[in-house]
Amino acid sequence: MSAPDQSAPPDMKHPRRETVVFVINSLTGGGAERVMSTLLQSSRRWANRYDLHLMLLDREPDAYTLPPWITLHRLDSRFSLLRALWFCLPLFRSLRPVVCLSFLTRANLVTTAAARLLGFRAIISERVNPSSHHRRTLGGKLARFATRLVYPLADHVICPSAGVMRDLVENFAAKPAKTSVIANPIDINGITQQAAVPSAVVHPSPYIVTVGRLVENKNIELLLAALKRARTTLDLIIIGEGPLRGELEQQVLFTDLGGRVHFTGFLENPYPLVKAARLFVLPSNAEGFPNALLEAMALGVPVVATNCRSGPSEILDDREAPIIEQPYEGRYGMLVPVGDEKALAGAIDAMTQSTTHAAYSSAAVSGAARFAALPVVERYWEIIETEMRKSVGHQQENSRPITRRESP
């Protein structure tokens, strides 16, 4: 196995400060990766207090940039849990973190195991609804088993939505007292600035847009079926890359949607194209907390989303919506039942009507403002520093001489 590389070694000339390590599989394009990038970009205040490090488990192209106050360690685990643990253990020993915060299942498993072996505090963040995300294959069953076995050993679990938290508590033995909900942060100013840049993809308005990795859970097939059923003649732009792209393109060719559906692949800056859309649609079977939905709202684009287990209803209606059997008008956007192409088609047609469109365009902006980056990042750091205090207190307790008596 090749050794990990470090973009910048720790500075040994200065007195050692407490170390906080962040861990994620990679910074390739994705919602969890975007949240990690936003969290680190917004942590300058804490970089003045602590040594901040980011550990990437895999060698993949970076879709997001890092601030200069982060020391980067890029490993080569090749998507293997055991290789990741093999590489992480000596690096953790060298860095001696007080607390580690990880995102995504494999990084969470590695971080928790290393924390139990080496004695630092492990905060993990599950970014998806595990019951929906882990498929009924052998690999999915193993992931479920590992999650149920290891997650309860973490010192704290952060969830992006109440739906994810409920799933972890009810089905994966997470402890409610050690579990918190923190919505994903959104850099509204940054998104607005990027949206003002001319797009690499030019398409005449108006059109419907969706953004996401082209995988089964995103259910782009449902959106295609709904578009075929709907009365609207708007085009559809699909922003994203994934293993199902070829299959979806073939599906479009064999329908009468051929000239109306356009695949852009992954775009480093999708925001100009999103901002110009008439409507954003999220047709997913399952989500943790859909960043793309929230980003479209920040740009004033009306949104329609499936009411999947966690995320959309909390964004669009301030709560977990009940099971619905028809389109539901939330406070900030419209929800439809999961997998219901007729309901989705009806919601698309309703949202393109002038009065409804104007009302939800205004509501979307105010809805997105609830998730501004800095308050969310501050909440992350509240938990990190709470765990740091617990760790320091534990170390001091263990370092006291056995014979010493405390004064009353």
Secondary structure (H, E, C), 297-323: HHCCCCEEEECCCCCHHHHHHCCCCCC
Strand partners, 181: 159
Q: Residues near 329 by Cβ (< 8 Å), separated by ≥ 6?
A: none
Number of alpha carbons in the 13 Å side-chain half-sphere of residue 192: 10
At 2, the pLDDT band (50, 70, 90 cuts) reads very low
> 306-325: per-residue pLDDT in tens?
998 777 888 998 776 566 77
- Cα 338 to Cα 345: distance, rounded to the nearest angstrom: 12
Collapsing DSSP to helix, strand or coil, 46 comes out as helix
In the block, residue with structure tokens 């975007």: 34
**What integer pLDDT is reported at residue 407 of this predicted model?**
34
At 41-93, the pLDDT tens digits run 999 999 999 999 999 999 999 988 899 999 999 999 999 999 999 999 999 99
- pLDDT tens digits for 107-148? 999 999 999 999 999 999 998 777 876 667 777 788 889 889
Residues 210/226, Cβ–Cβ less than 8 Å: no
Q: Which residues, at least 6 apart from 94, have a Cβ–Cβ distance to it below 8 Å?
A: none
The structural domains of the chain, ordered by start, are: 5-185+372-393 (3.40.50.2000), 188-369 (3.40.50.2000)
CB 42 within 8 A of CB 374: yes
Q: Nearest-5° angle of CA 193, CA 194, CA 198?
A: 110
| Strand positions, DSSP E, 127-225 | 156-159, 179-181, 207-211
Residue that the structure tokens 């051929």 belong to? 258
The pLDDT-based confidence of 333 (bands split at 50, 70, 90) is very high
Q: How confident is the model at residue 236 (pLDDT cuts 50, 70, 90)?
A: very high
Which residues are registered as beta bridge partners of 100? Answer: 21, 122
CA neighbor of 55 nearest in space, from 38, 31, 71, 37? 71
Q: Produce one character per residue of 73-94: b if its CB has 16 or more CB atoms within 10 Å, e if not.
A: bbbbbeeebebbbebbeebbee
Q: Dump pLDDT digits (tens) for 246-275.
A: 999 999 988 888 789 999 999 989 999 999
**What one-character DSSP code corresponds to residue 151?**
G
* Six token digits for residue 110: 């590695």
For residue 12, the SS3 value is coil
Q: What is the pLDDT of residue 404?
A: 38
